[in-house]
Amino acid sequence: MRVYLGSDHAGYELKVHLAGALGLQGYEVVDIGPAKFDPEDDYPVFCFHTGARVVADPGSLGVVIGGSGNGEQIAANKVPGVRAALAWNLDTARLGREHNDANIVAVGARQHTLDEATALVTAFLSTAFSGSERHARRIAQVLDYDTTRVLPPLPDA
């Protein structure tokens, strides 16, 4: 499986570490950048490009990394077709794939050790979407809104 990695300066060290660790696990890693540490870089450009590459490459997944992962998740989710999930423990990493069919995981490098973050990413990458009808229905609702920008009617209270 191809895995795209993008980060900012806060996630640079973790990105470099993950590129090696995931490669050893047999993943085909594509490093979107940055190519070198720059304390003044901005995360959105790397997240947009990571998201665009994942969407253009069916079956691939992505990882975006920053200090907290929050901004990276928000930026990646601006790319049409991206479903980025912020993972802060093993359950959220797995559920992002299993329930939400997330195609990108966001991780906060300042929130986890290298080993913890690697475990989160590995859990995300190794978990499949459940295919459950209720989860597929919910994903379809999000996709419909993302496409049409028409609010669905509220259910009767």
* 112 a catalytic residue: no
Cβ proximity of 27 and 1 under 8 Å: yes
| Active-site position among 99, 112, 116, 133 | 99
Domain architecture of the chain: domains with CATH: 2-130 (3.40.1400.10)
Structure confidence at residue 88 (pLDDT): 97
Q: Residue range 133-146: average pLDDT?
A: 96
Q: Residue range 17-37: average pLDDT?
A: 98
Residue 149, annotated ligand binder? no
Cβ proximity of 44 and 75 under 8 Å: yes
* 98 a catalytic residue: no
pLDDT of 137 > 70? The answer is: yes
pLDDT of 144 > 70? The answer is: yes
Residue 9, annotated ligand binder? yes
Query: From CA 86, how far away is CA 130, in angstroms rounded?
Result: 18
Q: Terminus-to-terminus CA distance in the chain, angstroms?
A: 45
Structure confidence at residue 157 (pLDDT): 64
| Active-site position among 72, 112, 116, 133 | 72
Residue 8, annotated ligand binder? yes
Residue 134, annotated ligand binder? yes
pLDDT of 97 > 90? The answer is: yes
Query: From CA 81, how far away is CA 151, in angstroms rounded?
Result: 18
